[in-house]
Structure 1
Amino acid sequence: MVGLTNESPTFCFDRDELSTADFNVDAFVVKYKREVGLEKLRDDLDLFLRVLKSSMVELINRDFADFLNLSTNLVGFDKSITTLKNPLTAMKTDIMKINETLSIQRQEIEEKLREQKGIRQRKQVIQSIIDVQKSIQQLNELDDAINLSKIDISEMIERAVVQFSFISVQLDKCGQNEPTVESLQLVIDNLRRVFEKRLTTAFINAYREPNMSLLADSLKGLASISLQTIAEQTFAHEIVRPYMEKNIRNALIQSTDISLAFDKTLDFIRTECKAMLYVVERINRECGSHFDFVVNSIFPELIQCLEQSSNILFFVGDPDIFHERYSYWLKFLEQLKSILSKLSEQ
C-alpha cells in the first residue's frame, strides 16, 4: 500500500487492516457496522480513498524526474544488448568446444593411466613368478643338500619354511587365473610333499631319539606350512598305533577288564609323551599353532583299539558291567584332564 504521511486524518478503522493477506470485505463491514455504523464507515472509507489518491499523486510527482531519466537512459539500450550478444554467443560456443576437447583429452589420459596400471600389475606378476621360480630352485638345491648331508635337518627346516612362506606371498600377488601359476603350482605341490615327508620323518625321529630341540623345529616347520593335521596323523600311525597294538590290544585279548587299556594309555601319556606334549604346549603358545596330539592322535587310536578288541564295549544289556565300564571311562577322562592341566602349567 502507498505510504501515507503521519498528518493523515484518523479513521474509525486501522488502515493497515486493509492490506493484510487475509483481508475479508464482508467481515470488515460487519465489524465496523456494529462499532460505528454504516454511515460513519462509508464516510471514513471515502475520506481514506481521497487521501490515498492524493498520496499516490505526490509519490509520482516526487519520483517522476528519476523515472524520466531512466527512460532516457534506456534509449538505444537494445542496440547495446544486440552488440554484446554476438561476442557472448561466440564465446559460449568456444567454451563448449574447449570443454569438449578437454573431456576427450581427459578420457584419453584416463585410458593411458589404466594401461599403465595394467602394465605395472603385469610387471609385478612377472616379477612374482620369477621370484617363485627362484624359490623353487632354492628348495630343489636344499633337497639336494640334505641328500648329500651338506646341511643338518634344523637348518633345512628353517630355510624350507622361509621359502614356502615367501612362495605363498608371491602367489597371492599373482592371482588365481594366471596360467603360469597353475603350472608352477604343480611343481610347488610336489616339493611340498617332499618336504612334508622330510619334516614328518624328522619329527618322528626326534621323538624317538629323543631330541626335543629338533622336535620343536620340525613341529614349527609343519605348522608354518599348514601341515598340523599331517603331523597328528603321522604320530598316530607311527607311534600311537604300534603302542596300542603291542600293549593294549594284547591286554584286552587276555582280559575283559578295559581299565587296563585306560591305565596303559595314561602311562603312555605320562612317560613316553610327556616331554613331547610339553614342547607342543610351548609351541602352541609361541607360534599360535593348534597341535593337539591327545585329542587328534592318541584318543582316536584308543577308541579304535577298544572297538576292535572288545565285541561288546559297554555291555548295555548288563547294568552292572555297563556302570562299571562307564565309571572307568569317567575316571580315565578325569585323570587325563589332570595330566594335561599339569603339562599346561609347566
Structure 2
Amino acid sequence: MAMDLHSPLPKSATDLFGDPKEDAHPLWLNPTKFLDPEFDPESYISDLRTFVPFDTLRSELRSHLSALKHELVELINRDYADFVSLSTKLVDVDEAVVRMRAPLLEIKEKILAFRNAVDGSLIALQSRLKQRAQANEAREVLELLLDTFHVVSKVEKLIKELPSVPADWASSDINSIEKGQLSNGISFQHAENGTNLRETQSMLLERIASEMNRLKFYIAHAKNMPFIENMVKRIQNAGVLLDTSLGHCFVDGLEHKDGSAIYNCLRAYAAIDNTKSAEDIFRVKVVAPFVQKVIPHGSSSAVGGESEDELDQDYDRIKKYIDDDCKFLLKISFTENSGLHVFSFLANSILREVLSAIQKGKPGAFSPGRPTKFLKNYKSTLNFLAYLEGSRGTFSTFYIHINSWLINYFLIYICLIVTLYIFMLGHCPSRSAIAKFREEAVYMEFIKQWNTGVYFTLRFQEIAGTLESALVVTALQPSQNLSSDQGHSLNLVLKQSISLLDCLRSCWRDDVLVLSCSDKFLRLFLQLLSRFSNWLSVGMDARNAGNAGSKSGSEWAISASPEDFLYIIHDLNCLAEEICGGYLERVLELLKSCSPEVLYLVRQSILQGGNSLKVLLPLVMNSIIKTLVEKSVEDLKQLKGITATYRVGQRPLPVRHSPYVSGVLRPLKAFLDGEQVATYLTGDLRNELLHSATSEITRRYYELAAELVSVARKTESSLQKIRLGAQKRAGASTEVTDNNVSDTDKMCMQLFLDIQEYARNLASLGVDAANIPSYRSLWQCVAPRDRQNTISF
C-alpha cells in the first residue's frame, strides 16, 4: 500500500495516530478519570511519568486546566441572568431559619430524654439478668450439693444392705451351711439360692458402682467446696467398702464360675473405672496358682540345669490351664455390646503372670548366650502369643495373601468363613482385639525380653567365623571324601567352597533364622559372598604379581597349581547355579509374607550375589593361562640357540624343524588331557582356555622370533659392510653369486620350518593356526617371499 505523501503531519510529538482534532487530548490523557471518586493524583502522575516526559505532562495538564476555566466562563455567561436574580429571590431567610429551629430543638430534647430512659431501663435489666444468672448458678451448685449428698447417702444405705446378703460370705461358711442342709434333703434348693444370692449381690454392687460413678462426676464439678470437702471422708469410706465388697463378690463368682455374678461385677468395675483391680484379682486368684505349678519361682523352688530353661512344655501346660480355668472369663469380657472391652485379662492377668514367672523361675530362657535354646524358646513364645490372640500363627499370613492365590469368589467365601471360625476359636474375637492386645505395655515388655539383636550378633560371629577359619589357609584343601558331601546336593571339591555353602545355608535354616531379623540375615548372606570373592580376588592378584608377601592370606594362590584352579572354577559355577536356583527359591518361600516390592529386592540381591561369583571366573582362567604360557615360554627361549648354530661355522640350509618345537605345547596338552579337566571343566570353558592359551603362546613366540630376526639382520648388515670394505682395500671382486645364502636366511628358514611344525601341533589340539593373528604375523616375519601370502604346513 502506497503512503500519501501529502497527508498532514501530527500537531505534536505525542499525536502519533490518525488526524487529531483541534482540541483533542492525547491518548494517554483521559480527563474522565478525574471524576472518579477514588482518583489519586499522585499515583496517576507517577504512572504517566513512566512513559511521558514531565514537561509534556505539565503542558497537557495546564492546557486541560485552561480548557476547564474557559468552559466555566462560558457557563456563567450563558446563565448570567439567573445568577444575578438569585440574590433578589433570597428574602426573609433568617426568619425562616428561626421558625424551623424551635421545633427541631424540641424534638432533640425529647429524643435525649427518651434515650436516657432507655439507658436506665437497660442498666436495670442487665443488673437483674446478672442477679438471675447468679441465682441460677447458686441453685445449680445447691442442686449439685444436694444430689451429691443424696448419692452419698444412697451409696451408704446400699452398702449397709450388703452384709445382709450371704453372697459375700466365705466359701467355708457356705459349704458348712450346704452340708447342714444336705441332711434335710434341700441341697439343690440351697445351691440354687446361693447362686441367686451371688447374682443379687453382684447386681446390687453394680448399682452402687453406677452411683459411685455419678458421685465422681458431681465431685469433679464441685471442687474446693467446703461442703464437698467435709464429705470426702464419707466418700472414701464408701469407696473402700465398695472395692472390698466387689472384690469378695468377684472372687466368689470366680470360685463358683458364676457367669451372671462375674458379668455384673465386671460391669461394676468398668463403671468405677477400676479395671486394674479386677485384672489383678483374676491374676492372683486364678492365673498365679496354675502358673506357679508350671513354673515354680518361690524361695523353695530349685533352679535346674539348662534343660530347665526350656519353655515349650511349660507353654503347653499353661495353654491347657487357660482353656480349663480362664476361657469362661475371657468369653464374658468379650461379650458384644457389654462395655467390657476395657478389660485386658489376656495381657494384664495371664501374660503378666507368665512373664513374671519366667523372669523369676527361668531367667536363663531369655539369655541369647545359648542361641539354639534361645531360638527354640523364642519360637515357642511366638506360638504362645499366637495362641492367646487366637490366630494360631497362621491368620496374618493367610489374610495378607488371600488375593494372591484365590481364583474365584467361591473360594473367597470359604476363606472368609474360615477366618470367622478362627476368630471364634481364639481368645481375641476380632482384629481390633488383637491390635489392642499387642498395644498393651506388658505385651511390649514381654517382646523386649527377647533380645534378637544380640542373638543375631552371636549367630553372625558363629557363621562368619566358620567361613573365616576355612579361608585362613596356606594351600587349597580339596575334600578328601567327596561322597560324604553329597548332602550338599552339589559336588563341591574345595573345603572352602563347602564351608561357604554351609554358611550361606545356615543363614536361612529353621534352627537359625529369626524372621524379624531376616534383613540382617540377608545382609550376612551378601557379606559372606563378598568375603569369599575378596579372598579369591586377593589371591589372584598376588599370584599375578608374583609376590607372596604383598598381602597376608594369599599364600595359597602362590603355591596353587593349575589343577587346583580347576577346582575353583568348578566350585564357582556350582555355587552360582545353586544360589540363583534352589537357594533363591528357598529364601523367597521363607519370606513369602512380605510385600511384592520387598520380594523383588530380595530376589535381585541374591541374583546379584550369585553373579558376583561368576565375575571371578576370568581371573582364575587368566591365572591358569598365565601359568601354562610361562611353562611354554621356557621351551621357546631355546630360539636363541639358532643364532649361535648358524653364526659358528658353515651350516647347510635346514631341512627339518628344531627339537624345541615339540615341547612348546607339551604343558598345555598335558594339562588338557588330564583327568581334572575332563571332570571339572565344561566343554565351553575348555575351548575358551585352549584358544586363549594358544593365542598368548603364539604371541610370545612371535615376539621372540621377530626380535631374533631383527637382531640377526642388523648384525648381518654390519658384517656385510665390513667385508665389502676389506675386499675393496684388497682389490678383490665384490660379486655375490646366487648360490650364496646368508646366515640370516638360514635362520629364517629354520624358523619357518619350526612354525610349520608348531602349526601342525596346534592342529592336533584342534586349533587352526591361520585364525590366530599373531601366527599370521609370525608367518610374515620368517616365511620366504614366495610363500608369504599363503599359510600351509
TM-score (norm 1): 0.75
**What is the CA deviation profile of residues 80-109 of structure 1, one whole-angstrom value per residue up to 9, with x for unaligned ones?**
223433553454355335434432432232
Q: RCO higher in 1 or 2 (8 Å CA, sep ≥ 6)?
A: 1
Say which structure is richer in helix. Answer: 1
In the alignment, is residue 59 of structure 1 matched against residue 79 of structure 2?
Answer: yes
The partner residue of 1:325 within 368, 377, 380 is 377
Structure 1, gaps ≥5 residues long: 1-11, 31-44
Distance 1:295 1:59, change over 3 A: same
In the alignment, is residue 301 of structure 1 matched against residue 301 of structure 2?
Answer: no
Moved more, 327-336 or 217-226: 327-336
CA distance in 1, matches of 2:256, 2:73: 125
CA distance in 2, matches of 1:315, 1:26: 101
Distance 1:271 1:339, change over 3 A: farther
**What is the CA deviation profile of residues 145-193 of structure 1, one whole-angstrom value per residue up to 9, with x for unaligned ones?**
1112297313312421342243344445x43233222333432232122
Contact 2:219 2:228 in 1 (8 A): yes
Contact 1:154 1:217 in 2 (8 A): yes
Tell me which amino acid in the other structure corresponds to 1:60: Y
In the alignment, is residue 275 of structure 1 matched against residue 328 of structure 2?
Answer: yes
Structure whose CA Rg is larger:
2
In the alignment, is residue 235 of structure 1 matched against residue 282 of structure 2?
Answer: yes
Tell me which amino acid in the other structure corresponds to 1:194: L
Match of 2:92 in 1: 76
Match of 1:137 in 2: 153
Match of 2:731 in 1: none
Match of 1:200 in 2: 247
Tell me which amino acid in the other structure corresponds to 1:279: I
In the TM superposition, residue 72 of structure 1 has moved relative to its aligned partner by 4.6
CA distance in 1, matches of 2:251, 2:391: 23
**What is the CA deviation profile of residues 242-294 of structure 1, one whole-angstrom value per residue up to 9, with x for unaligned ones?**
332233217985644322332222122211111110011116x4326411101
Moved more, 296-305 or 87-96: 87-96
Map 1:59-208 to 2 at 5 A.
59-61=79-81, 63=82, 68=85, 71-89=87-105, 91-149=107-165, 152-172=200-220, 174-208=221-255
Q: Secondary structure at the match of 1:271?
A: helix
Contact 1:232 1:297 in 2 (8 A): yes
Tell me which amino acid in the other structure corresponds to 1:59: D
CA distance in 2, matches of 1:210, 1:24: 105
CA distance in 1, matches of 2:353, 2:340: 26
CA distance in 1, matches of 2:57, 2:369: 104
CA distance in 2, matches of 1:52, 1:226: 92
Of all paired residues, the percent bearing the same amino acid is 19
**What is the CA deviation profile of residues 117-148 of structure 1, one whole-angstrom value per residue up to 9, with x for unaligned ones?**
11111112112211221222221121121112
Contact 1:270 1:339 in 2 (8 A): no
Match of 2:387 in 1: 335
In the TM superposition, residue 201 of structure 1 has moved relative to its aligned partner by 2.0
**What is the CA deviation profile of residues 9-45 of structure 1, one whole-angstrom value per residue up to 9, with x for unaligned ones?**
xxx9556769x739989669x9xxxxxxxxxxxxxx9
Tell me which amino acid in the other structure corresponds to 2:330: L
Map 1:218-229 to 2 at 5 A.
218-229=265-276
Cα RMSD (Å) of the superposition? 3.7
CA distance in 1, matches of 2:259, 2:245: 17
Distance 1:246 1:83, change over 3 A: same
CA distance in 2, matches of 1:298, 1:52: 105
TM-score (norm 2): 0.35
Tell me which amino acid in the other structure corresponds to 1:267: K
CA distance in 2, matches of 1:114, 1:324: 75
Contact 2:291 2:353 in 1 (8 A): yes
Distance 1:329 1:122, change over 3 A: same
Match of 2:649 in 1: none
Distance 1:81 1:337, change over 3 A: same
Match of 1:246 in 2: 293
CA distance in 2, matches of 1:339, 1:104: 77
How many residue pairs are counted as aligned between the two chains? 311
